[in-house]
Each structure stands twice: as C-alpha cells, then as structure tokens.
Amino acid sequence: MNLQLKNKTAIVTGGSKGIGKAIAKALAAEGANVVICGRGLEALSEARNEIEQVGGKVIAVQADLSNQEDVERLVSETVYCFKTIDILVNNAGVVNRFDDFESLEIEDWQKLFEVNIFGAVRVTKAVIPYMKKAEYGRIINISSECAEQPDAFIPHYNASKAALNNFSKSLSKAYAANGILVNTVSPAFIMTPLLENLLNDSAAEQNISFDEAVQAFLKENRPHVEVKRPGRVEEVASAVVYLASSQSSFINGVNLRVDGGSVASV
C-alpha cells in the first residue's frame, strides 16, 4: 500500500519519547519530513538522531506548549524549513499527579489542561491557516481509553482526554470542506517508559517477575484487554500513520481505539 507520505511535512508534539517518538519514526520511515517538539533538549536531540536513522528529514524544536510564543516559533520554524504543514499529531500530554479527586487541587487541573487541551488548541489554531491555504491537512489527536472508560482516579486527566475527543469531532465538522480531516487515536495499556517503570516497581514490591506484574495489572485494572498483553508504541504509530496518509481520505471524525479491546462498550 502506497501511503503517499514522501515529502509531506508532519509536526509531532511530544515527539521525543514514547508514543510520540514512535509516531515520528514511523512517519519518517515513510519519507515524511518530521518536526518533533518537547521541553527537554537532551531527549529531543537523542530522539532526532534516532529518527534520522530511518529516513526523512527531521528537525527538533524545544517548546513548551503552554507558552504561545513557543507554539508560534514551532510553527514558524516548520514553515521556514519545509514551506508547508500537511500533518499535525497532537500527542503531547501529561499526568502531573496520580491522585483521587479530593487530593487534587484546582491548580493541578489547570496545569494539566494547559498542556493536554490548550496545548493542542494552540498548535492546531496556528497550523490551520496553512492547511486551509493548501486545501489539505491531516490532524490526529492522541487521546486515551480514559476518555470513554474513566477510572476512579486521575479525574483531571480523564476529563482532559474526553475534552480532546470532543474537540476533535468539532474540528472534523468545521474543516472537512477545506480538505482537512481530523481524527482521534485512543491507546490503552501501551508499554511506554512510564508504564514499564510502574510495572517494574510493582514487580519489585510484590517480589514477582515483570511478566507476572503485567498479568496482575491486567487482571485488576484492565480486564477487557482481550489480547492479554500490553500494546506496543509501534502499534499506535501504525494507526496514526494510516490516518495521516492519502489512504484515509474518507475517514473523518472517528475515534480509533488501539486498546486490545479494553473499552468494553461498542
């Protein structure tokens, strides 16, 4: 299948680690020009070097998406280097505290929403004019199963992802006539560095193997992951690359779950 991504230009926010880096690598492997951004300069430099090994042209921009000036610089540097922006992957997201509702302060909600929602809004708002001018664009927002099937804890994170889903659907209706398709990808139980560290800690605390910790976590917290294993970041990236490609030309406003069946509803 020819995805026709060669020489397309993609911005991947939060592209220096985990799912974001996997998405950037997959796009680069298809010949796309890739711009990654993140807050940590060292991680960005390492990710850029790694992504360059698979192909495509890569630039890394240090940016805090809660800062409007950083967002404008991210977009201006992309256009300066590559002349246009064809694809935007709003992947950047944080979980600033793993706590229940009563333990969270209003400031915790505000800080998280600044990145998870307003960061995506800022970058999208800056990119849309270029896509409208070209009459072409793909916007993919990275959400989570928590948007549809929230846990009792981290309610601020769950709510931010639900808002992102709603934002995606609204944009999909607003800009389809301009040739801009907007979709959501919702991963669940993906083996990111964060999850791997959590499971390693759990294994050590219980004096069990890593694989046993994985299965215990699945049984207790994700019983509907029917494939009975964590997902790989590459599996999320494959879904994003498809939605970013010319082959997805009649897909708009969907929420594609990459969750091994974790969301129990239809």
pLDDT tens for the chain, residues 1 to 266 = 789 999 999 999 999 999 999 999 999 999 999 999 999 999 999 999 999 999 889 999 999 999 999 999 999 999 999 999 999 999 999 998 889 999 999 999 999 999 999 999 999 999 999 999 999 999 999 999 999 999 899 999 999 999 999 999 999 999 999 999 999 999 999 999 888 998 999 999 999 999 999 999 999 989 999 999 999 999 999 999 999 999 999 999 999 999 999 998 88
| Rounded-to-10 torsion of CA 107, 108, 111, 112 | -150
Catalytic site residue from 130, 157, 175, 242:
157
| 10: enclosing H helix or E strand | strand 9-13
136 among known catalytic residues = no
| 237: enclosing H helix or E strand | helix 233-244
pTM for the model stands at 0.96
Residue 112: closest CA among 126, 98, 124, 123: 98
- Tokens representing 8? 């397309």
Instruction: Supply the CATH classification number for the domain 9-190+232-258.
Output: 3.40.50.720
User: Can you give the residue ranges of every domain in the chain?
Assistant: 9-190+232-258, 191-230
